[in-house]
């Protein structure tokens, strides 16, 4: 096993899906968004897990591109797949053709030209395609204007090889701006009323992402599209106090941690510069530890001289303890230096945690994202494919208790 690995807690994902099902109720669908290889955690394994949760799991999988859909077909989950990007070509020799022919490949139309391309696919291959129309209500990214969206619905309604399977929008600021989110909801609701006669009874109306799910039930519609909550994050949002379901959001369980180990230690004298650019200089006799992880692995340069890395101290016959060592100097491409001076038991081979699955730890994903000036999605998607992924049950990697104040056995007097 390599020094560094990302440990995915499948039980935590099961817990989060069950929590979402409880929040949504049995009448709602749940689209598990697994873009970018399930945000870096492994789409095939995650797809199988969210589809097989006892008592009810996801009802649809969401991806951005056809390549991602092709991979998920191999998971054989039995769930339909929604492709969110504009699709204009799908050839008969594409391995997705058979999946499309069964009506399980749902395509998104963003504008009239995109819809005509989907019609061309359906007519050319003699298949009926489920299509979702995206209405832009303020995101100003993909999606159609109300006028174009109405014309697209009319065109799809009249075409024998298209099935209007969904109508949706996407919230721009669900995690941070209640006013903007409500404005988008009102625009969407107004449009829905104006085109209700064009929508079949089984049409999926969807708008809510992770943060909108916990902001309020009025945003849920018939099928939220959820990504980040599957992996245990929503309650650290900018406006989490304004969420109507904030308590439920706080019950999510982080579903992964990123660990490595110390591969080298050394003592340096006061006044010794460390790392590229000499961006940090020791002020005391300092014991440094080297962790074989850097920005090539997805540990951001912005965490230089900023973050803390968890150091797990194993104790025979007792539960392990976790102390926190500051990152010193600039993060390198594949190496990061930490200050081990106050953690006497740390040595070569000691496990460390770059991202903790303890939501209250200083190296929890939301805390690190804030320190790096970014968002949790970004940090997850940066995780390099060269880091080994392992999949386990919760009991196989329970978090060690934090050392709130350094125990005497771990403290060094300067």
CA 85 remoteness from chain centre: 18
SS3 72: helix
* Token output for 100: 């499309």
240 — alpha (psi -120 to 50), left (phi > 0) or beta?
A: alpha
265 forms beta bridges with: 289
The neighbouring-strand residues paired with 288 are 266, 339
Contacts for 408 with CB less than 8 Å, ≥ 6 apart: none
Exposed (0-12), middle (13-18) or buried (19+): which is 288, by Cβ within 10 Å? buried
Structure tokens at 407: 């125990």
Catalytic residue (one of 35, 48, 370, 391): 35
Residue 179, exposed/middle/buried by CB under 10 A (0-12, 13-18, 19+)?
A: exposed
* Known catalytic membership, residue 91: no
Rounded to whole angstroms, how far apart are CA atoms 111 and 153? 11
- Quick check: 376 and 233 in contact, CB under 8 A? yes
Please confirm, yes or no, whether 347 is among the known catalytic residues.
no
CA distance 59 to 230: 14
Nearest-angstrom CA–CA distance, 310 and 337: 13
Q: Are 268 and 313 in contact (CB under 8 A)?
A: no
In the three-class reduction of DSSP (H, G, I as helix; E, B as strand; rest coil), residue 282 is classed as: coil
Nearest residue to 52 via CA among 32, 26, 73 = 32
Q: Which residue has the tokens 């939301």?
A: 366
Identified catalytic residue from 39, 276, 377, 404: 276
What are the φ/ψ torsions at residue 255 (nearest 5 degrees)? -110, 5
Q: Which of 162, 156, 170 is nearest to 206 (CA)?
A: 170
Tokens of 217: 């039930």
List, by residue number, the catalytic residues.
35, 276
């Amino acid at each position: 096993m390599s020094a560094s690995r990302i440990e995915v807690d499948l039980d935590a994902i099961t817990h989060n899906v069950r929590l979402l099902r409880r929040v949504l109720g049995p009448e709602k669908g749940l689209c598990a968004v697994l873009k970018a290889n399930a945000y870096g955690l492994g789409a095939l394994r995650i797809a199988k897990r969210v589809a097989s949760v006892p008592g009810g799991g996801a009802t649809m999988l969401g991806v951005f591109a056809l390549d991602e859909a092709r991979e998920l077909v191999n998971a054989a989950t039995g769930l339909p797949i929604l492709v969110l990007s504009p699709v204009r070509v799908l050839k008969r020799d594409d391995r997705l053709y058979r999946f499309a022919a069964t009506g399980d490949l749902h395509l998104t139309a963003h504008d009239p030209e995109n819809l005509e391309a989907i019609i061309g696919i359906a007519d050319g291959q003699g298949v009926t395609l489920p299509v979702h129309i995206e209405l832009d209500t303020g995101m100003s990214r993909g999606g159609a204007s109300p006028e174009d969206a109405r014309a697209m619905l009319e065109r799809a309604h009249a075409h024998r090889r298209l099935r209007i399977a969904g109508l949706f929008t996407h919230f721009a600021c669900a995690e941070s701006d209640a006013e903007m989110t409500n404005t988008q909801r009102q625009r969407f609701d107004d449009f829905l009323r104006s085109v209700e006669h064009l929508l079949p009874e089984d049409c999926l109306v969807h708008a809510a992402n992770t943060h909108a799910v916990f902001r309020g039930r009025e945003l849920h519609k018939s099928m939220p599209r959820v990504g980040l909550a599957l992996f245990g994050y929503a309650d650290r949002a900018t406006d989490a106090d304004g969420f109507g379901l904030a308590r439920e959001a706080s019950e999510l369980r982080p579903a992964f941690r990123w660990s490595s180990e110390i591969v080298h230690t050394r003592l340096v004298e006061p006044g010794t510069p460390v790392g590229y650019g000499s961006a940090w200089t020791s002020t005391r006799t300092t014991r440094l530890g080297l962790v074989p992880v850097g920005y090539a692995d997805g540990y951001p340069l912005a965490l230089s001289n900023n973050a803390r890395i968890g150091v797990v101290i194993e104790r025979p016959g007792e539960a392990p303890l976790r102390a926190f060592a500051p990152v010193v100097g600039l993060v390198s491409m594949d190496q990061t230096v930490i200050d081990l001076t106050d953690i006497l038991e740390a040595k070569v081979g000691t496990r460390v945690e770059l991202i903790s699955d303890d939501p209250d730890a200083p190296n929890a994903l939301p805390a690190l994202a804030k320190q790096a000036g970014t968002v949790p999605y970004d940090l997850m998607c940066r995780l390099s494919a060269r880091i080994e992924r392992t999949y386990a049950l919760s009991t196989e990697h329970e978090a060690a208790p934090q050392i709130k104040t350094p125990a005497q056995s771990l403290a060094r007097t300067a």
